[in-house]
Amino acid sequence: MYTTSHERTQETARASYDRLSIAIHWFLFVCVVALCIIGFLFYKLDFNSESYNNYYYWHRSVGEVVFAVMVFSVFWRSRRPRPPELRDVQWRARAAKLTQRTLIGFLIAVPAIKIWRGAYGIGWEFFGIKIPAPLPKNVPMGHFLTDAHYYTAIALIALSSLHALAALYHHYFLKDKLINRMNPF
């Protein structure tokens, strides 16, 4: 069913997320942007350099924070009432729901894969706290998990970009105030 811009604006005002969900959303946005920048910077560095180790340290630590925050976010969202669904064109509403669920999956899977990678001989380091690996080094598994981390991260970047573009489309073209659902102010 098609609705007018005015009706969508009124619905959006009633359909905001709670403050903690909004804070989590924007915290994850900042973390993911930082992880992308750090990841692409250290990816081109010499593997045995001090610069590589510094970037890798921050990338892993922040990635582990993203994993923990996402697990908490899923728990938090499962306990909170969802904002009412906005009336929109059916295909766009379905695409938004699918994108949101897939983003949540990727935001958990990307760091989880790298955490899993740590179990095979390299261990974990979380802001200076070192935890040894429970399993012996496994080079083929390490390569597989590293590649899986990289390609799922690229998919996460692409989907996050699509998500941001859709929000901007709603804001600038549909003018339905959808973006206010996640307004941090």
Task: Give dist(CA 2, CA 95) in Å, integer.
Answer: 16
User: The whole model's pTM is what?
Assistant: 0.84
pLDDT, tens only, 40-98: 888 788 888 888 888 888 999 999 999 999 999 999 999 988 777 777 888 888 998 99
The pLDDT of residue 184 is 85
Domains and CATH numbers, the chain: 5-182 (1.20.950)
Helices (H) and strands (E) counted in the chain, each on its own, are 5, 2
Half-sphere exposure of 167 (CA within 13 A, CB side): 13
pLDDT, tens only, 116-175: 999 998 888 888 899 999 999 999 999 999 999 999 999 999 999 999 999 999 889 988
Q: Label residues 172-183 b or e (16+ Cβ within 10 Å = b).
A: eeeebbbeebee
**Percentage of residues of the chain with pLDDT beyond 70:** 92
Dihedral-angle region of residue 121 (phi above 0 means left; psi in -120 to 50 means alpha; beta otherwise)? left
The pLDDT of residue 156 is 97
